[in-house]
Structure 1
Amino acid sequence: MATDLRISLTDLCSLRCTYCMPAEGLPWLSQRERLTDAEFVRLASVFVALGVTSVRLTGGEPLVHPGVVSVVERLRALEPAPEISLTTNGVTLERHARKLADAGLSRINVSLDTLDRERFARLTRRDRLPAVLAGLAAAADAGLAPLKVNTVLVRGENLDEAPALLGWALRHGYDLRFIEHMPLDADHTWTRADMVTAEEMLDLVGATYALRPRAERLSAPAEDFDVVDGPDRASWAVPVGRVGVIASVTRPFCRDCDRLRLTADGQLRTCLFAQHETDLRAPLRAGATDTELAELIRAAVAGKQAGHGIGAQGFVQPTRTMSAIGG
């Protein structure tokens, strides 16, 4: 049984990142289609009883969900209590960070692709970089550590900024992770030729910083490296920093993946790139017992595909986008 559950609290998002969704947004789920907070917690309790030990709240953007703090509190009250983390674009993090920490949130990931305000506005179609930086500072002050920053490098946009982003993260004590752009965009324009690979990322930052591979990642999605030297080492927050790469396309970790995903409308996905979903919302609302829901989950996990198949002949991009699945 998988031990890591990703729950997408909402498909709504406050940004419109160019590699994720169109400027006008997407057809959003209706309130009736989305699970209620009580339904999220009920299903999470079934997953925890089956062995899930870590729950990550995602979106869309989870901080636009009005009950996010309450959901964290209620998840932490489950027995046994899972570790609760959250992935956010950081736009409203400054006003949520302390409340989330007090509610029991353990860790947080913030998506940030550039430190240049004009570039940020172009990539996200929103001028909100100062708010994101303030949110990161607030999360650090609230003790949400380790604080991880997720960066997607886009050819022709922010590739040149990779070393500067790493230097900034080292100075603040953040763990930076570069992520390969995956074929989960709404416009279905992704091509492997345009994607910046993990090898390119490591070559780019390795020309400025000395990197040392860390221990085997096991089921973790990121390959981590200690940053042991660099031109601005005296300004680092810690003597040795860390950088990671998540290379789902060129260095897949499907064999060791222990993640399940619950969408905002109650569909269980055993893989980001799955073509099939298991409906948990309908039986839940029809009065299914925890035992019956657990059997549906077990059956779905037993039928999990062996790998995502990107690059294989006949690969078909999922209909749902990343914003609708949850990272």
Structure 2
Amino acid sequence: MKTFPTLIDRFGRQISYLRLSVTDRCDLRCAYCIPKGFRGFEVPAHWLNFAEIERLMAIFVRSGVSRIRLTGGEPLLRAQLPLLARRLAALPGLEELSLSTNATRLEDHAQALRDAGVSRVNISLDSLIPEQIKCLTGQDAFAKIMAGIDAAQQVGFSPIKINMVIVPGVNDREIDDMVAFCRDHRLILRLIEPMPMGDSGRTIAPHDLQETRQRLTQRFDLIPALIPGDGPAYYLQDPEGTFNVGFITPISRHFCATCNRVRLTVDGILHLCLGQEARVDFRTLMRSGASDEELTLALRAAVELKPERHEFREFPEKIMRFMSSTGG
């Protein structure tokens, strides 16, 4: 079958990174991700099965995708996830398989994931106060998350990145404490501006991280990282180079010009941008009998649909789907 070594969109960006959602379900209810009481999850019959995922991922990798991140919802809710990870990690040409998780189940699965070929993990942690975690997530999950972080370190995941979404008036006063915690535990911290995804996301007030970045630079004597991050974060480090903190700023300082990623939902819908509606239904294509060649051509056509940038500032009400249903 003819292969294409790179995927280049209309704006010259090389698409090499796929965020693969394996479930839209989660055991937590973070307000910026899933609204309280939400029940509109995708039916399991529409989920891509492991064989479909492996086939489609092989096509993506042959077409130029070199990095895949397993996401959700909470990906560890998908039964036998380490088995899928092992199959994906074995794909010729895949350079990195990683995982985003809330870590509530990571203590039980860390070793199996590491053995399967997952090289690193990103962990959501929005507070260091147990009561605050319960308020933010709807669950008394702090101890489980801490155990998951410890397990990830014990089995050798490196680097481990901590993702902290800043919710004004809720956890914004904890930023300095989180910096100190991650520095002391040799974790990479990434501070994230909330995005207006769905009704729940639009209830969160925006937080401009530019002022926060300036303040942390002065307080912790940070300097620009010598090696910039390979994703959307702008990184600073301490003078010794032993600690890094990143700033993901989709609202105050968008990074669309260098966006190298697309997202595949659990039901096989490829989204080309978090803040736009361009999408392609690969599940229907596969279940209608499309050949690998046809799927490859569909992928290349999909990349042509990737917009130049999101419009969260101009049209914050535009995206109705929730973050959990889009794939992290």
Smaller-chain TM-score range?
over 0.9
| Aligned residue in 2 for 1:234 | none
- Distance in structure 2 (CA, Å) of the matches to 1:160 and 1:207: 17
Residue-by-residue CA offset, 1:8-41 (whole Å, 9 max, x unaligned) = 0000001001222222233111111111111111
4+ residue segments displaced more than 3 Å: 215-219
TM-score by length of 1: 0.92
| Aligned residue in 2 for 1:236 | none
Question: What secondary structure, in the 3-state scheme, does the structure 2 residue paired with 1:32 have?
Answer: helix
| Aligned residue in 2 for 1:320 | 321
Matches within 5 A, 1:95-114: 95-114=108-127
Q: What letter matches 2:151 in structure 1?
A: A
- Distance in structure 1 (CA, Å) of the matches to 2:199 and 2:155: 35
- Distance in structure 2 (CA, Å) of the matches to 1:96 and 1:186: 33
Matched, 1:209 2:220: yes
TM-score by length of 2: 0.92
| Aligned residue in 1 for 2:313 | 311
User: What's the RMSD between the two structures over aligned residues?
Assistant: 1.6
Shift of 1:129: 0.3
Shift of 1:218: 7.4
Question: What secondary structure, in the 3-state scheme, does the structure 2 residue paired with 1:163 have?
Answer: helix
Contact 1:198 1:250 in 2 (8 A): yes
Q: What letter matches 2:51 in structure 1?
A: A
Q: Cα 1:23–1:316, aligned 2, differ >3 Å: closer, same or farther?
A: closer
Matched, 1:88 2:101: yes
Matches within 5 A, 1:1-327: 1=7, 2-187=15-200, 189-190=202-203, 194-215=205-226, 217=228, 220-228=231-239, 240-312=242-314, 314=315, 316-327=317-328
Q: Cα 1:59–1:293, aligned 2, differ >3 Å: closer, same or farther?
A: same
List alignment gaps of at least 5 residues for structure 1. 230-238
Question: What secondary structure, in the 3-state scheme, does the structure 1 residue paired with 2:238 have?
Answer: strand
Question: What secondary structure, in the 3-state scheme, does the structure 1 residue paired with 2:237 have?
Answer: strand
Shift of 1:215: 4.5
Shift of 1:113: 0.4
- Distance in structure 2 (CA, Å) of the matches to 1:79 and 1:292: 20
Greater shift, 15-24 or 55-64, is seen at 15-24
Residue-by-residue CA offset, 1:202-252 (whole Å, 9 max, x unaligned) = 1443353111012474752100001238xxxxxxxxx63110000111111
Counting aligned pairs with the same residue, the percent is 37
Shift of 1:184: 1.2
| Aligned residue in 2 for 1:233 | none
List alignment gaps of at least 5 residues for structure 2. 1-6, 8-14
Q: Cα 1:218–1:102, aligned 2, differ >3 Å: closer, same or farther?
A: closer
- Distance in structure 1 (CA, Å) of the matches to 2:226 and 2:243: 15
Contact 1:182 1:248 in 2 (8 A): yes
Question: What secondary structure, in the 3-state scheme, does the structure 1 residue paired with 2:309 have?
Answer: coil
Contact 2:201 2:322 in 1 (8 A): no
